[in-house]
Structure 1
């Protein structure tokens, strides 16, 4: 099977699972017909081969990015503008997606980037609380409920076709991924970069330097 076929199957079978504490809700965009169609178009366009990719792991999708389109770190605007995939979503933007696609363009564009990397998340479904994004590690109680699913989904994601190294986005996400990897032994090396949202919110004046940092690491880690 191609990477695309395995990825489409993986995302289509994702389930929100158990009810979460602290009024945290899971958003599963893959239940929606229009998202299913976008996922097929995206993966058949960029991943119709059997080549492994270096994974770039975010935390969990934001509601305005992957939580809307079904494609990690890809908001509706970037899905159309840079992936050249038409859609019927409202043209919302997301800070993390804006930064990632600046880096992708600097790296050489979507074709080059997606032939070497895959954007994913430690927990692949969006989480919200009172209409705002929520991280899987924001409370011990929520993490405890999600941990079994996170472990299983990590194994399934890597089985799509992963290199033995991963790039983790976010320092706290990195701490958790290290612990998860000790249980699963999926990756031989975990690199870490500052999370795009952190950069866009707090380090925007230094954005050029962070883009260079991202692209330099990407150039040094892709498998081909």
Structure 2
């Protein structure tokens, strides 16, 4: 899986070398979150531990990193608290709502077995900010937007997913358009609510049930202990 990390690092190298895309973002007051490039060694360690085993996986595909989670760690849907839980030796405790929801899903399965069955990623490996707030890829200027999601197609050629599960309505639309344009040839499953939506107390139980149902139907993976209220 080092190929995936190299793919996204080389993409940023090209942006810096060519300059036009970064200038366009700068004119719009948009900055790119630095977590992925700053944490490349951590990401390689995470991928070596959890994604070195070959085999077909389903892909949970989100939007792009946010400033408090993957925007810091560089690992999709994993904040530093999650890193400390999944990789002993790291002791930072920064938390982010979407990442905490995803960690709660992961922890109901055996570490390693979950990652053997489910691959977490985003359409854009890079996150964005404007005026101190998160910005999603679909808000970027149309002239540059495609640059940040085109590499997802190459990533999927490496992963070879059995299904891609969009984790938001906008991601689902983008994936279906990619499939229509002949860029993706993998089945696109019914979307799931975004983890941020699922993290709120009024949504938590129902959304967790939907995630478990999707995982278990598409992969056959079993939870360590099934809550009788969910069965």
The normalised TM-score by structure 2 is 0.83
Q: Distance in 2 between matches of 1:143 and 1:60?
A: 16
Pair 1:74-2:78 in alignment? yes
Pair 1:218-2:215 in alignment? yes
Question: Structure 2 regions of 5+ residues with no counterpart?
Answer: 16-20, 222-231
Pair 1:6-2:3 in alignment? yes
| Residue correspondences, number | 211
Matches within 5 A, 1:1-224: 4-15=1-12, 17=15, 18-19=21-22, 20=25, 22-32=28-38, 35-81=39-85, 83-87=86-90, 91-106=93-108, 108-138=109-139, 142-151=141-150, 153-183=151-181, 184-201=183-200, 204-222=201-219
Query: Shift of residue 38 of structure 1?
Result: 0.6
Question: Structure 1 regions of 5+ residues with no counterpart?
Answer: none
More strand by share: 1
Tell me: CA distance 1:68–1:112, structure 2 relative to 1, closer, same or farther (3 Å): same
Local SS of the residue matching 2:138: coil
In 1, are the aligned partners of 2:137 and 2:148 still within 8 Å (CA)?
A: no
Q: Distance in 1 between matches of 2:96 and 2:54?
A: 31
Query: Shift of residue 85 of structure 1?
Result: 4.2
In 2, are the aligned partners of 1:57 and 1:120 still within 8 Å (CA)?
A: yes
Q: Which has more radius of gyration?
A: 2
The normalised TM-score by structure 1 is 0.85
Query: Shift of residue 87 of structure 1?
Result: 3.6
Query: Shift of residue 179 of structure 1?
Result: 1.3
In 2, are the aligned partners of 1:79 and 1:86 still within 8 Å (CA)?
A: no
Tell me: CA distance 1:215–1:143, structure 2 relative to 1, closer, same or farther (3 Å): farther
